[in-house]
Structure 1
Amino acid sequence: MKLQFYIRLFVTFALINGSTLSAQDKPQETLTLEQAIALALENNQALKIEQKRVEISDERNSIGNAGLLPTLSLIGDANYTNNSTDLTIRTFQPNPPVVSFDEDGVASTTLQGVAQLDYTVFAGFSGRYRYRLLQNEKQVASLQQRATINETVLSVSRLFLEIAKLQRREELLRETLEITQERITRIQDKKSFGKATGLDVLNAETDLNRDRTSLDNVLLAKNTLKRDLNFLIGYEAERRYWVSAVYNSMQISSLEEVKQAVRANNPNLLLAQEGVSISENQIGLARSGSLPRIGVFANYGYFYQENDVQQLAEITNVGYTVGGRITMNLFNGGQNKSAIKVAKLEKESIQLEKEQLEDRLVTDAVTQVNRITIIEDQLERERLNLDTFQEAYERTEERFKNGKATNLDVRDAQTALLNAQISVVELQADLMIAHISLRNLIGKI
């Protein structure tokens, strides 16, 4: 299964800032979003199962399986009998009027071979509807495969982006740990000169322990998500790698165009529409049971029989036979009527489910469009805040070096900057997830 056949990725995913991890901490293997999706499409077991279903439906989709072609059969049989026979035959003469035989071990041998061609000329259009149902089956298998591919791409993308968010948070926390450790060293130096107290050192060490705990929680969450992603893409559970990401800006269509795209392209909605088509063909198939059936046959065969006692001692026939039959079910306990009514009710039910699904999918698409707009506004504000917090932290750090700010002031500024950095990264990832979710809804992953 080729990646380019199923998806056109509109994003590559890489880190905004350079890595702060040391060479020994950072895995050498790098994984991009495109690579993760390609691996999932190649190795995911659910997709392999769907592919087999598509192949099965392709094989079944033929007019022969719908009963629209003639059948040719070779029929042969042989019989041998050996009986005690008490036989009385009228002579139609006055004397004797009958002749009787009472024999033991009377044998009879019969040999027969026939090549027969049967063809249903008309069966109430049932063959046509059976063929349409086979085409429906093929289309359903294809749409189910497409829906599974879309869900796989969406699941892989979400996991990948959540891992990237945690990975970036890990980087920022490691950077914070280094800065906090350096600050502890400076406070200890100040304490040696009487410019800081033991409480200042304890507060800084407490900050360091909190950062370490936060880092442990991030690593635990990241490794858990990586195991989930590894399962989807066919990697070993504990395989280590570094996700590589770039957040690109993406454009969305107008709200009305999005709604139309959902109705026209969403694979789950198309599956529901195919269900309506299936129910219509089921109605036609049920109606065909009330119509006459016309069939013809032709055969060419050989017949031989040898008898010990019977008047016909030996019979041999070689030749052909042609014939036809017409049948019509006048009454079968109301089964046809019931089947038609049930098929119509099934269609109405499926139509209502399809309309309900359409409303829900369109609503979800509108929600995603609104979510994208909100996240874009939030991201713009957080970027402005990031510049402000960066400048505030640098000034506070400088004042701390000059003895004009306390460790608490620096910690507050550092925490505010860290939260702003994390917020920007997470909003960027959330924006990408929202775009991918929207493209999944409009069937364009």
Structure 2
Amino acid sequence: MSGISSVYGQVDTTLPGTYAFNLEECVQYGLAHQRDVVNARLDINFSREQVKEATGKLLPHADINASFTDNMKLATSLIPDIAGGDFNRKIPVQFGTRFASAVTGQVNQTLFNSDYFLGLKAARVYGGLAEKTYNRTAIDTRVAITKAYYAVLTNEENIRLAKSTMEQLKKTLSDTRARYDVGVAERIDVDRITVSYNNIITDIATQIRVLVYTVQLLKFQMGMPQQSKLELKESIQDLNVTALAITDTTYRVQDRVEYNIQLTQIALNELSLKSKRMGYLPSLSAYVNYGFNYFSTKFGDLYKTGFGASALGVTLAWPIFTGTERLHQIRQNRITLEKSHNDLSYLSEQISLEVTNANTAYQNYRAQYLTQKTNMELTQGIYDRIVMKFEQGVATSLDVTSAEKDLKDAQVEYVKAMLNTLTSKTDLDKAMGRIR
């Protein structure tokens, strides 16, 4: 992993190029470039910023407010005529000045607010959820790349086997034509073998087109540009499929990332319930401000003299009664929490069923693979002996073409069983939580 990481540090692997990777290098490339993994990694960074945002709410908040007022026409009020001694008589008066301005700076500090503190804790739990979600995405990506990688290797093996049969058939066809030219073989023998030869040529061309697609699929799963050239360092023989065997099927549900994600969801639901319960608690905050007030009858003289003002205070807010809204919200959160516990129990049963199903499929496919491998070897021996007998004049061309068809069918079933074995093993490893 360190070797391929150093390569990524030296070149831009998002650009088209030529790469030669084994399975683990394909996986590491995918974990660095596959779109879903990249987005999941960005979600982790996003959640970290949310934690910082929640922390920032507990820090002091400062703001400056300024105002300017032009009282183009002062408001008039009626007051008793105190100066004239007639209190029953009302006289109109105007208070204030035409121009007024104020500048005030204030610092607020939350001393206690249950939502702030629980929000900080919830943000941290959500950060853990983002990391677990990233792990699940990485696991899914690893599985998808592994299966696509196996598909490429088995298609290459299919082509190799078909080409081997083609070479044998080509030799038989050449020998038959030579014997026909000297009058030893019949025209029907040449035609029958020619038909088989033409069919296998077509099959190989078809398999090559399928191989091109499987390589494209592998590059897609890796997040590699389709213009890039990808070569695999391994062949199917390097995997030694026959030796692959899972005998220990013990597992722990805790090893499955989905189980841990559900545990985190329960923790979030618990915090949500706690937040609603603590909503009945008061919130306490302190503030201090300082500012200047300016007054003048003329705009040019407005800011010549300022009158300072300052205040220090504490604010307490206590929601004594908010109807029954919060009560019902608490009950809703309790139901949600209970459902999340039920989902966890259901998930445990689902994982158990997945392991059983994956193990059954793997054991069946592996048994089929061992059988088909033996069958292919036997069919190859039968084909070789019939070709030998045909060359000796003991067998007919019909025997050769029939044996060739049986060999081709055996090779197809062998490769199919091999791919099913490899993919089912991958599914079993994932079900047991062994893919990290």
Task: Pick the TM interval, shorter chain.
Answer: 0.7 to 0.9
Contact 1:399–1:405 (CA under 8 A) maintained in structure 2: yes
Could you report, residue by residue, the CA deviation over 1:9-60 in whole angstroms, capped at 9, with x for unpaired residues? xxxxxxxxxxxxxxxxxxx974422332233223222222222221111111
Out of 333, 338, 349, the residue aligned to residue 348 of structure 1 is 338
Root-mean-square deviation over aligned CA pairs: 3.3
The equivalent residue for 1:74 is 64
Structure 1 stretch 154-163 or stretch 217-226: which is displaced more?
A: 217-226
- Could you report, residue by residue, the CA deviation over 1:177-203 in whole angstroms, capped at 9, with x for unpaired residues? 222222222222232344332222221
Asked whether the 8 Å contact 2:33–2:224 carries over to 1, the reply is no
TM (norm. structure 1) is 0.80
Is the 2:79–2:93 Cα contact (8 Å) retained in structure 1?
no
Is 1:126 the equivalent of 2:120?
Answer: no
- 1:360 offset after TM fit, Å? 2.0
- Classify 1:207/1:306 alpha carbon distance in 2 versus 1 (closer, same or farther; 3 Å): same
- Alignment of structure 1 residues 352-431 onto 2, 5 Å: 352-431=342-421
Tell me by how many angstroms 1:384 deviates.
3.7
Query: Which amino acid in the other structure matches residue 208 of structure 1?
Result: Y
Partner of 2:196: 207
> Structure 2 CA distance, aligned partners of 1:128 and 1:294?
13
Query: Which deviates the most, 196-205 or 391-400?
Result: 391-400
CA distance in 2, matches of 1:99, 1:3: 95
2:435 to 435, 439, 444: 444
Return the structure number with greater helix share: 2
CA distance in 1, matches of 2:227, 2:102: 71
1:332 aligned residue (319, 322, 347): 322
- Partners of 2:405 and 2:222 in 1: CA distance: 36
Contact 2:112–2:283 (8 Å) recurs in 1:
yes
Paired position in structure 1 for 2:15: none
Superposed displacement of residue 158, structure 1: 1.0
* 2:98 and 2:297 in contact (8 A); partners too: yes
Structure 2: gaps of 5 or more residues: 6-17, 299-303
Distance in 2, matches of 1:4 and 1:294, equals: 55
1:303 and 2:293 matched: yes
Q: Distance in 2 between matches of 1:294 and 1:240?
A: 64
Q: Tell me if the contact between 2:192 and 2:401 (Cα under 8 Å) persists in the aligned partners.
A: no
Q: CA deviation at 1:166?
A: 1.5
Residues 108-123 of structure 1 mapped to structure 2, 5 A cutoff: 108-123=98-113
Quote how far apart the aligned CAs of 1:419 are. Answer: 4.1
Give CA-to-partner distance per residue, 1:364-422, whole Å, 9 cap, x none.
12222333333343334444444433433333222222111222323343444444444
Cross-structure match for 2:9: none
1:224 to 200, 210, 213: 213
Alignment of 1:190-205 (within 5 A): 190-205=179-194
Q: Report the residue type matching 2:272 in the other structure.
A: Q
1:240 CA drift (Å): 5.2
SS at structure 1 position matched to 2:98: strand
User: How far apart are residue 283 of structure 1 and its match?
Assistant: 0.9
| Partner SS, residue 411 of structure 1 | helix
* Contact 1:66 1:130 survives alignment (8 Å): no
Q: Distance in 1 between matches of 2:97 and 2:227?
A: 81
CA 1:405 to 1:30, structure 2 compared with 1: closer, same or farther past 3 Å? farther
Measure the CA separation in 2 of the matches of 1:240 and 1:415.
Answer: 35
Partners of 2:62 and 2:105 within 8 A in 1: yes
Residue 255 (1) aligns with residue 244 (2): no
Q: What number of residue pairs does the alignment pair up?
A: 412
TM-score, normalisation: structure 2: 0.82
Question: What are the equivalent positions in structure 2 for 1:119-198 lying under 5 Å apart?
Answer: 119-123=109-113, 125-198=114-187
Alignment match, 2:13: none
CA distance in 2, matches of 1:3, 1:372: 33
Distance in 2, Cα, partners of 1:201 & 1:326: 102
55 and 90 in structure 1: CA distance in 2 versus 1, 3 angstrom threshold:
same
Please say if residues 247 and 429 of structure 1, whose CA atoms lie closer than 8 Å, have aligned partners that are also in contact.
no
